[in-house]
Structure 1
């Protein structure tokens, strides 16, 4: 059989394993696994079968996938907070997702990708670039003042693939990848916070709008995406007159419900717009911490915004006779991995 060495690397990363762990599972050496992955040596058929069992994929998985999408330029929130193994695993799920999307696009029509582009230099520390980018994005994607009703639905309606990472990759924060033909945004399943998840979505949109060429993980680039998200979700012209100058918790709770952002984000916004001075902001954040609200703010929990585009596409093709098993076969992924990425609703 033909053996695609890149698919072995993909399968290993998908399972969050190191080369020595795979080698031990199949009875060979880490150097041998390295040669297989580099394409310097093709494994014999018995070894291919052992690799398939150890990695939980069919033998056919190693014959090659649909695409060679690279997610190397993905924007992770912090490169220090997660290990390379964890990031590799998350990116492997992204590769699998791209193959599933490719298989579905042969069968259904997704919304066209029509995100605006507003490049902001990764060296710009204090300029207005992120704010102007957010204004351009709001005009193109929202078109009216006030709160953004549903961030995930907005992304999907403009052609972005939105997925929730499987629990195996829950230590990886939200990240995005501006890949052809469709940009992708992945959410952390463990965060479980409606308001912070919406901010994450706007943050990743900022990367897609501003940072086609920026080096991922740079602090300045992440700060720019934060500033973009703040203006996108809480435009200065709309919210400036509503923010309190001190920690009025009742008022902040009302604004949180209306604007769909956390009280911490509202306090930060009041500070950056110079409505709240530095001392008042620090006192408010100290009180948030002392009350345990930095981890979980007061008020009833709210269900996260959920992506529906891929689930809907699978339901459409299923009704036409292409069930999940056939979608997985067309995408050359396992049915189990497809179900992890796109759960039934």
Structure 2
């Protein structure tokens, strides 16, 4: 049996978050039988093919579609990849495959922003700092706070989307395809965590072309890039005195810096240690204080901070519907899936909304 057919059956199953056992219960088949199907050891009957189409939300053409550029492990930047369960990685990768196919349809109809994320050298802290600073300079961001990093990433040619069902400990996953995709965890991350997640994935795109990530080294490198990008060293050092009161941390000052720069107090402590503003003891005490006050995951100021909304996909689909006469059902057909699968991919909060999209797509 064609390996393409086997791959696509498995892809559709994983996208739906189904194990072989769970799919077997829906189809009235054994786990062992479906395993043989996915490995090519068993032929797919016409009846089984129709059942797969009905239960997995795909069209018959999906099963035999040849993807010219399937995702590789090196293209998937998965936070905590080496410690996260295999099933969760497989689910995220299947979502990434479908996101990539959706973005390919958008690229076919729309003039999306050009990709402008240049390679940076990960060999030292200094080269990573310079890489982040070069991105800021080339994108005309200046050296102050970034008001909307999601829009910055999308104007640089990436596509950002919220994805439901990612593992709780994962803030974001990215896929270094021809047009890179950043998938943010859709389960209520704070504005600061989401912003740092986008910057972290931009770091992977710049630092880790063709490199398998997820280990401590590559994660630390991406974190360094994100910190340098969100908090440029010269600007941070000029304002860091607000975070100290003699030898102790000034929590009012940290809160002020957080609201100004759009990063968490934990990220400010992390950056301050990198640049020698805070001692190890001060940072350790700061982290302990955050935990004691219930701010290890969500900090008190988060409730007043607006979470950024990705725009390219929602606005692009709206433009296709309103101006090009290409409704969501037609987009789904181009992906060889049923509309319900596309709706699942977009997620309830994502939706398609009425918005002005001309400025986004013409942005420099």
TM-score (norm 1): 0.91
Q: 1:97 aligns with which of 81, 99, 118?
A: 99
In the other structure, the counterpart of 2:220 is: 223
1:138 lines up with 2:136 in the alignment = yes
Over the residues paired in the alignment, what is the CA RMSD in angstroms? 2.0
CA contact (8 A) 1:170 1:190 kept: no
SS in 1 for 2:58: coil
3-state DSSP class of the match of 1:135?
A: helix
280-289 vs 54-63, greater mean Cα deviation = 54-63
Segments of 4+ moved more than 6 angstroms: none
What is the match of residue 76 of structure 1? 78
Partner of 1:326: 330
CA deviation digits over 1:159-189, x for unaligned, max 9?
Answer: 10111112x335343011211x211111011
2:200 corresponds, among 200, 203, 206, to 203
Q: CA deviation at 1:71?
A: 4.4
Q: Match for residue 39 of structure 2? A: 38
**Per-residue CA distance 1:294-328 (angstroms, 9 max, x = gap):** 12212233231111111111111101211110111
Number of the residue aligned with 1:114:
116
Structure-1 separation of matches of 2:26 and 2:340: 21
1:106-155 CA deviation, whole Å, 9 max, x = no partner?
2111111111111324xx6xx42322221222222244111112111001
Match of 1:264 among 263, 266, 275: 266
Q: Which runs of no fewer than 5 residues in structure 1 stay unpaired?
A: none
Q: How many residues align?
A: 338
SS of 2:161's equivalent in the other structure is: strand
* Distance in structure 2 (CA, Å) of the matches to 1:141 and 1:57: 40
Q: CA-to-partner distance for each residue in 1:192-215, whole Å, 9 max, x for gaps?
A: 200111111111100000001322
Is the 8 Å Cα contact of residues 117 and 206 (structure 2) preserved in structure 1?
yes
1:344 equivalenced with 2:352 (yes/no): yes
**Cα deviation digits, residues 202-239 of structure 1 (max 9, x gap):** 11100000001322211110001111111110011111
Within the alignment, does 1:64 sit opposite 2:98 as a pair?
no
C-alpha displacement of 1:40: 4.2
Alignment partners' CA distance in 1, 2:175 and 2:316: 21
1:241 aligns to what? 238
Task: Name structure 2 gaps, 5 residues minimum.
Answer: 354-364
Q: Which residue of structure 2 aligns with residue 313 of structure 1? A: 316
Q: Normalised by the size of structure 2, how large is the TM-score?
A: 0.86
Shift of the 233–311 alpha-carbon distance from structure 1 to 2, 3 Å rule, reads same
